[in-house]
Amino acid sequence: MIELIVAHPHAFWLSLGGLLLAAEMLGGNGYLLWSGIAAVITGLVIWLLPFGWAWQGALFAVLTLAAAWLWWRWLSRQVKAQKPADARLNQRGQQIIGQRFTLDTTLVNGRGHMRVGDSSWPVVAGEDLAAGTQVEVVAVEGITLRVRAC
């Protein structure tokens, strides 16, 4: 078996790459993807330009690092390009800033509650507002919505 690998090192690298890529499909974390791609590329290069095992290992290591670095660089650009709304994904209060609602009850001393979707939020305004007034959410202070009349 060793003689076969020594005689055909490209078969070793292509097999290793295939095994790493298959293992990646089973796990799906991305850790083996870049090593698998590097092993396949190493196998193809060795098939075309045979050279010693030490250089093959060095080529595999460099390709693995280069592929992982390129992926990290691409991914960091994608994260920076995300819409600002993604940063407020699980912050419902932040998501409703700027939206308009109608008061169900009168605000007394500038305080009260307002229905937003299927929940009731405490609200505060700079003035008393009558029920039925159209208001806009301008800020969120803890769990309290700061509103102003439109």
CATH label of the domain that carries residue 143: 2.40.50.140
Please report the pLDDT score of residue 36 as a whole number.
Answer: 95
Q: How far is CA 9 from CA 4, 34, 88, 121, in A?
A: 8, 20, 52, 68
Amino acid, single-letter form, for residue 122: P
Q: Strand 144-149 relative to strand 119-124: parallel, antiparallel, unpaired?
A: parallel
- Same-domain status, 71 and 132: no
Q: What is the pLDDT of residue 6?
A: 81
* pLDDT for 117: 86
- Read out DSSP for 41-87? HHHHHHHHS---HHHHHHHHHHHHHHHHHHHHHHHHHHHHTS-GGGG
Per-residue pLDDT of the chain (150 residues; tens, 9 = 90+): 788 888 889 999 999 999 999 999 998 777 899 999 999 999 999 999 999 999 999 999 999 999 999 989 988 888 777 665 556 666 777 888 999 999 989 999 999 999 988 889 999 999 999 999 999 999 999 889 999 998
Domain that holds residue 93: 87-149
Over the range 19-43, which residues count as b (16 or more CB within 10 Å of their CB) and which as e?
ebbeebeeeeeeebbbbbbbbbbbb
Burial environment of residue 121 by CB neighbours within 10 A (0 to 12, 13 to 18, 19 or more): buried
Rounded (5°) CA angle 139-100-140: 15
Domain boundary among 80, 95, 126: 80
Q: Tell me the per-residue pLDDT of 28-71, one tens digit each, with 9 for 90 and over.
A: 777 899 999 999 999 999 999 999 999 999 999 999 999 999 98
Could you give the strand order of the β-sheet that contains 119-124, starting from the edge strand earlier in sequence? 100-102, 134-141, 144-149, 119-124, 111-116
Count of the separate structural domains present in the chain: 2
Q: Is residue 95 domain-shared with residue 125, that is, in the same domain? A: yes
**Scanning the structure block, which residue is given the tokens 């029920």?**
131
